[in-house]
Structure formats: structure tokens, C-alpha cells
Chains A and B, each alone.
Chain A
Amino acid sequence: MAAPARISPARQRAAEQRQSLTEARIAALGDLPAAGWSAEARRDALDRLRTAGLPHGRDEYWKFTRPDSLTSAEPKPAAVFTAGDPEIFGDLDRVTLVFTDGVFDAAASDDPSLAGVTVERLAEATSDIHWARDLYGVLEAKGQTPVVRPLAALNTAFAAEGLLIHVTGKADKPLHIVYNHASETSDAILHHVIRLDEGASLTLLENGPAAARLNKVMEVDVAKGARFDHVRAQGRDHERRAATHIFARLESEAVFKSFTMTANGVMTRNECIIDFTGDDAVAHVAGAALGDGDFHHDDTVFVTHDAVNCESRQVFKKVLRNGATGVFQGKILVQPGAQKTDGYQISQSLLLDGDSQFLAKPELEIYADDVACSHGSTSGAIDETALFYLRSRGLPEPVAQNLLTLAFLAEAVQEIDDEALREAIVERLSQWLDRRLDAGHDSPGGGAEG
């Protein structure tokens, strides 16, 4: 190695810290799962993890979110919380698959037979040849440039569970994955691979807290003219932690739409990495978060336009109070030649008191000259004039405030195309807001919903 003496003692110490942190985590995870076709991908991912090292508080990409609790060898315990909420997707016709603390629960799951879709457990797909081999860890590896995502590499290396979903036709009902949390110390790693063939379509629903700590990766490959709709409700266990990554690759005329609703959870980092590789494709990512008390919620999005005439939209809204923190890091990268790109990005927070904060880092990086990209980020309080107007019509102040809060979130919820799903989400959001009303005042870290 050349001139090691030039590395400052402080940097040297930081590098050593990172290495020991990474090795401690790897040691706690033990051996890589034995799996025929994915073995090579796992070894490569482990190399990526070791090369990058786990995230550190001094990393630029983790400037607003402390990674410690997501990278520690053991998870912090999280109490299991029974909300008593009605089933979020109601009686919508769907195929439901259940994971409890990150392990597939066959007894609680439906028979996964859905016309046009084959579903396999990652844990059971151990043959030497598998279609998922072309994707497993492949989109994740690609997503490590230009910014490293070591938690995703860790996931590829060590995930023993997850689903391999191959969509060959138009699924006539949604696939619904429920993530139950049963153990206070569960540390779940889930990796899903979803391949949509040309012209195929699938709606994927997800909900539940999953585990005390969750590391989840979803790789989604959307072929020409295929369409993927995704609606996710992250569970409300107050102390749960999650780091999730979605890696999506869109071929020409593909459509990708993902919406995430988050309420509570002490630590959430949701990354979404989208690559446009074919022309005329569309990707919308949206999120609505409600944070109360000890709540840290980070949306990190990276969209790369490397094709002509593609449209990307990012719409993120966060309602924060009692010291909650919201983070948004969103980037649109337009590569040379990606002409006629239409990129839009908005991140907004509604701060219900002076204790909460919203940290945003919107970025555009454009190397093509015929593009339309816009971004905006705002933080604000409830509009007093609107509040008075509603109250003057007889709405009690908290009811008026909830109505305006829902209205604030509406732009993100509108990104869900399916009306029934949209209504289910609005219904759940208003239940949560109303419950907070009935409880009067939430204690730090939540708890009013008990």
C-alpha cells in the first residue's frame, strides 16, 4: 500500500471502528445460508459489505439518521404492540402470505396460487438453477453506485427468507404480505425478488411491523410494458426499527408505483433506488408518515434516468409532533442522453409543534439538455386561517386540525391509483388521527392507542 503514513490518526481510528463494527455484525450473523444458485451472489455481497463497511454516523449519506441501532450486532428489544386495528385492506380479495419475525408462517398463509404468478420461498429454492439468479443481488449490486448501501449488501449475503415472485401474466388480484412481530428481540432479514415479464402486472400489498429490527430488500425487475403497483403500511410498534431497500429496474414502457405509509416506529430508513433502463417508462414513489414522539423516519430516494422520455415522481409528506424527526434525501440523476426526462420531486413536512424537525436534502444532477426536472421542499405549521375557517363552521379545533392534516397527506395518498386501496389508506390514517384525539394527548413514544 502506498504511503499509509498520510492517513490521519482520526481517520485511521474511524476506519478501524467501522471495520470492527462490520465484523461484529457479520460474526453475529454466522455462516452464509447454504443455497445452491444464490451462493455466489451471497459471497459477492459479503465482499461488497466488507469493502464498504457498515454505515457510520460520519457518513454523508447518514448525516441525518444515526445508523447505530440498524448496524449493531444485536437488535435493541422492541415490545410487541397489539393495536386492535381492523384489518387494513378490509375484505379486498387477495392472496395473503404471512411472515412472523421474518420467518414464513405457512399455517397463517393462503395457498399461494394466483393465475399468472408463481411464488416460492427463498428458503426453499435451493436448486442450482433458478430464474432469480439473474436478479438476486444483481439490482442491489448495481444500486451500490454511486452511493454505497452496505445494509442492502448485508441483506443479500445473509437473507435466508423472502419470496421469489415471478409474474408472467396479469394477476387478477393483489398479493398481500403480512409481517407479524411476535418476539421482542427478533432480528429479521428478508429479501424478495420480483420479476414481471413483458406486459405482466401485479399489485403487491405489505403491512406489519415485521420484527424488533427488520432489514428488508426488495429487487423488482419490470420488463417492457409491465406494471408493478406497491402499497405498503409499516407497522405501528413504537419501538420497532427498520432499514428497507427497494431496487427497481424499469425497461421500456414499464410502470412502477410505490406508496408507503408509516406511523410510529422509533427508527425507519426506507431507501428506494430506481433505474430507468428503457424508454417511455414511469416511476412514482410516494410516502405519508405520521410521527409522534420518539420517531425518526428517513426516506432516501435515488432515481437514475438513463433512457429517453421517462417520467419520475417523488411525493413525500410527513406530519411530525412531540419531538419527532423526519428526513428526506431525494436525488434525480439524469445521465447524458436521457432526453425528454420529466422528473418531479416534492417533500413537505407539517410540524404540529415547535419540538419536531424535518431535514431535507433534495438533489438534481442533470447531464442532458432537454429535460424538465423540478423539486421543492417545505416545512410548515397548520394554516391558522384555514383552521379558523373550519372552526367557524362548527368543527372543534382538534377535528379541524385532523381534517387539515389528512388534507396535507392527501397529495401523497393520491399517488395510489386504485381507489379501493386509496380509501383503505385514508381510512387507516383517519382512524389513527381520531384515536389520538380520543386519547387526548400522546405520551412520548406514543402509547395512546393501547
Chain B
Amino acid sequence: MLEIKNLHAALEEEGKAILKGVDLKVNADEVHAIMGPNGSGKSTLSYVLSGRDGYEVTDGSATLDGTDLLDLEPEERAAAGLFLAFQYPVEIPGVGNMTFLRTAVNAQRKARGEAELSATDFLKVIRERAKSLQIDADMLKRPVNVGFSGGEKKRNEILQMAMLEPKMCILDETDSGLDVDAMKLVADGVNALRSEGRAFLVITHYQRLLDHIKPDVVHIMSAGRIVKSGGPELALEVETNGYAEFLVEEA
């Protein structure tokens, strides 16, 4: 599904290298976790994959089902099936959550040559999916993420994911700022989407999210590279011993 080869990327303005040769392959139906200390390049990887401005890819490739992602605009990557759940979901005053979601769903359908969803059909689907994430009608009506609590914002991200039905989901520190109950709710939302060949890349500092979203493969990232990969036990090891033993010396 997602194949990253020797990916190098730098901050455009400062020219500072952040990703220094990332290799990663995520197959359909798999959940991969990337763990690592602050500054290891985890979030940068998610931004480079989703096409945020400000990063320059200096080497390597990233493909989604064979399509070169790095050549595409952010909206084209989304239409190709990539989804990034933001660490800090953006507040957009003046844009209703529901309007936003419907515009997004239909924009993607249009890009894929599918018929747009009617207002009634859309409403039916969103009500059902919002309910399981405990998102009420008021949250759907309010402007996107404005005045939402940390937990509400993350649930809203998962709702977007559920509505857009991407095939490759990247979750960037979705556990940050969540209490145990909120984390469980978010994890349940994610787990409900684990099917139909969908793959996940879960970026996190801590092992606790992985108690709820069980990964098939765990990677440790340090200084812009994946330095170790293994099974779920790797996450437990980090939990006990910290990252020290995995860290690479900066050149």
C-alpha cells in the first residue's frame, strides 16, 4: 500500500535536513506504529507525505499503491486515499463542520469520478458515524473545531476519516491531550475502520495508545531514520527502558 524509499526531506527555509533516509513499507490491512523521541522526524514524515508546504524532498520516493505521492497536490493525495489525522486539528471560524465534511466528501468523489452524495444520503451516513463517536448534532453544526475541547477535536478527526473512507490513514499523535476515556473512544473509532484492506500508520510517543490500537509492526524513529522495527513487544520495551538504547548519534 504505502511504500517509502530512502526518503530525505529538509525544511525549505533553513535547509535543515529532518528526514535522512526513511524506508518503510505498509501493506494493506496492516497497522504500523512509529515511535520515537521529540525531534526524531515523526511529524515531519506525516507532513511530507500529506504535502504540506515548507518541506523540500531532497531524495527518495513515497508511493501509494504505486502512485507517486510526492508529485501530487495535497488534495490529490487525499483523493488517492491518503488521510492525515492532525496532531493539532485546525480551527476554522465561519465554516460549519457539516458543510466542510460534505464539501470534502463530494470533492473527493468528484476527483475519483464518482457521483456526489445527495444531502439526504450524506446526512444519514454522518448521523450514524457521528453517533458512534459521541459527536452530537451541535458539534456538527458548529464551525470546524472552534471551541472544541482537545478530545472533541480528535474525535472530529476520526469522524472525518470515517466519512472520507481513505485507504491509508496516518494518525499523528492522536493520543496527545486525551484522557483515558477519550483515548478509548478515539481508538474504538479507529478500530471500527480496520477492515476492507485499510492500512494505518500510527505516530505516537507512548505505548498506551497501542494498548487500544494494536499494531502489527512497530518502528522506532530517531534522527530522521527508522532505526529499528519489530512486533508489538518493541513498544513495550520502549515503555520500560525509554528510547536511549535506540538513539543514534548525530553526525
Contacts and interface: CB of A to CB of B under 8 A. Distances in A.
Interface of A: 384-386, 388-397, 399-400, 403-404, 406-411
The 3 closest A-B pairs by CB, nearest first: A407-B94, A410-B94, A394-B78
Contact of B53 (A384, A386, A400, A410): A384
Contacts of A384: 53
Given A388-B53, A391-B73, A396 B95 contact: no
A349 B50 CA distance: 30
A246 B164 CA distance: 49
Given A394-B104, A404-B92, 18 more contacts: A388-B52, A390-B100, A390-B104, A391-B78, A392-B51, A392-B77, A393-B107, A394-B75, A394-B79, A394-B105, A394-B107, A394-B164, A395-B104, A396-B107, A397-B75, A400-B75, A403-B100, A411-B94
B103 A399 contact: yes
Choose among B84, B93, B143, B160 the residue with the greatest number of A CB atoms under 10 Å from its CB.
B93
A41 to B, nearest CB: 44
29 contacts: A386-B90, A388-B53, A388-B74, A389-B89, A390-B100, A391-B74, A391-B75, A392-B75, A392-B86, A393-B78, A393-B104, A393-B107, A393-B160, A393-B164, A394-B75, A394-B78, A394-B104, A394-B111, A394-B164, A395-B75, A395-B104, A396-B111, A403-B99, A403-B100, A403-B103, A404-B92, A404-B94, A406-B95, A407-B94
B204 interface: no
Given A388-B74, A392-B84, A394-B164, A399 B107 contact: yes
A379 to B, nearest CB: 17
Interface residues of B, number: 30
A394 B108 contact: yes
A218 B92 CA distance: 37
B75 to A, nearest CB: 5
Contacts of B100: 390, 393, 403
A408 B92 CA distance: 10
Contacts of B92: 386, 389-390, 404, 407
A380 to B, nearest CB: 13
Interface of B: 50-53, 73-75, 77-79, 83-84, 86, 89-90, 92-95, 99-100, 103-105, 107-108, 111, 143, 160, 164
Contacts of A396: 73, 75, 107, 111
Contact of B103 (A385, A395, A411): A395
A388 B88 CA distance: 13
A406 B103 CA distance: 14
Contacts of A406: 94-95
B93 A407 contact: yes
Contacts, number: 77
Contacts of A386: 90, 92
Contacts of B143: 407
B86 A404 contact: no
Contacts of B89: 389
Contacts of B50: 392
A420 to B, nearest CB: 17
In this complex, the member of A385, A408, A409, A411 whose beta carbon has the largest number of chain B beta carbons within 10 angstroms is: A385
A392 B103 contact: no
Contacts of B53: 384, 388
Contacts of A400: 75
A403 to B, nearest CB: 6
Contacts of A404: 92, 94-95
B153 to A, nearest CB: 12
A409 B93 CA distance: 11
Contact of B74 (A392, A407, A410, A411): A392
Contacts of B160: 393
B89 to A, nearest CB: 8
Nearest to A388: B52
A393 B100 CA distance: 9
Contacts of B105: 394
B78 A392 contact: yes
Given A385-B90, A388-B52, A389-B90, A395 B107 contact: yes
B13 to A, nearest CB: 13
A404 B105 CA distance: 17
A393 B77 CA distance: 9
A386 to B, nearest CB: 5
A404 B78 CA distance: 19
Contacts of A391: 51, 73-75, 78
Nearest to B84: A392
Nearest to A406: B94
A419 to B, nearest CB: 14
A403 B102 CA distance: 12
